[in-house]
Amino acid sequence: MIKIYHNNRCSKSRLGLAIIEASGKDFEIVPYLTNTPSRDELKQLLSLLEINPIDLVRKNEAIWKENFKEKKLTDAEIIEAMAQNPKLIERPIVVNGKKAVIGRPPEAIKNIL
């Protein structure tokens, strides 16, 4: 089943959800700000996305700029920062089986549907 890590306040996330809805396929919405992925879930997402933890971070978020930007962080510390501060997680993330994509631009989601 398709899974979208979604933030309804984000226009890109809403566009990504619309693309999935239009596909007619079954999907699950994960409101990741209230249902925060664990460290292990984040590691699994990173593996599916085939990216480094820093590439999943929203670096323009105030939380990042104020608390983490100037620090030399390990991958584990970056994952921990996202687990503790889900606003730092790039969105939307769409998972379909063993494939995943960050929906920026939202049209990228079509590649895994």
Q: Which residues participate in catalysis according to the annotation?
A: 10
Q: What is the DSSP letter of 57?
A: B
